[in-house]
């Protein structure tokens, strides 16, 4: 896995190493949802699913793609995820979100046969993948 970190993310990355022994509380349900998250291949797009799989024919798929401009936009938008949505205690530091996020993408990468780019950013103190 190749990592590219800007200056701010480098600071978080460095600090996060000090948090490795922290305890975070997950319900088993949320833990399962995050690390066994459902994925579906739709016309060569890999999508993270909320729950049930979707069924689109080719025409419907291209109608949907129009909303996003292209397949990459469709994938990026629908795969946006926030770690805090899966943590029962919402008061989780940036560094801890970052560490969980990294575990999440490593786990997800092993389930996808393609090369995947993951993008991390923070909205205030909330990690968005």
Partner 1 sequence: MIGVFVNGKFDPEQTRYAQGLIQRRDIENLRGLGSRFLEQWANNNGKAILNELFGERQVNLELADAGGYATGSASAAAIPAINAGGLALAGHGAGVLKSAWESLSDGYSGKKSHMFGENGTQTTSKTTWKNGKTERIDDENPSPGKRPEEIHYHEPNNKKWRFDIDSGIFVDPKTKIPAPPKIKKKLKDKNILTGIRKGLDVLGE
Q: Answer yes or no whether residue 123 interacts with partner 1 by CB under 8 A.
A: yes
Q: Which of these ranges, 13-21, 56-64, 94-102, 110-118, lies near partner 1 under the rule CB under 8 A?
A: 56-64
C-alpha 78/C-alpha 10 separation (Å) is 27
Q: How far is the CB of 103 from partner 1 (least distance, A)?
A: 19
Q: Answer yes or no whether residue 39 interacts with partner 1 by CB under 8 A.
A: no
Task: Specify whether the CB–CB gap between 46 and 112 falls below 8 A.
Answer: yes
H or E stretch at 101 = helix 94-111
C-alpha 20/C-alpha 14 separation (Å) is 11
Q: Answer yes or no whether residue 28 interacts with partner 1 by CB under 8 A.
A: no
* Encoded tokens for 20: 């490795």
Site string for partner 1, 87-116 (x = CB under 8 A): ---x--------------------------
Rounded to 5°, the CA angle 112-37-14 comes to 80
Query: What residue ranges bind partner 1 (CB under 8 A)?
Result: 42, 47, 50, 54, 56, 60, 63-64, 67-70, 72-73, 76-78, 80, 82, 84-85, 90, 119, 121, 123-124, 126, 128
């Amino acid at each position: 896995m190749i990592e590219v970190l800007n200056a701010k993310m480098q600071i978080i990355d460095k600090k996060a190493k000090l948090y490795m022994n922290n305890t975070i509380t997950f319900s088993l349900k949320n833990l399962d949802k995050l690390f066994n998250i459902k994925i579906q291949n739709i016309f060569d797009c890999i999508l993270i699913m909320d729950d049930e799989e979707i069924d689109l024919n080719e025409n419907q798929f291209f109608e949907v793609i129009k909303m996003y401009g292209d397949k990459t936009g469709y994938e990026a938008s629908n795969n946006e995820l926030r770690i805090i949505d899966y943590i029962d205690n919402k008061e989780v530091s940036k560094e801890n979100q970052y560490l969980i996020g990294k575990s999440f993408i490593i786990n997800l990468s092993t389930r996808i046969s393609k090369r995947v780019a993951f993008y991390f950013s923070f909205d205030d103190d909330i990690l968005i993948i």
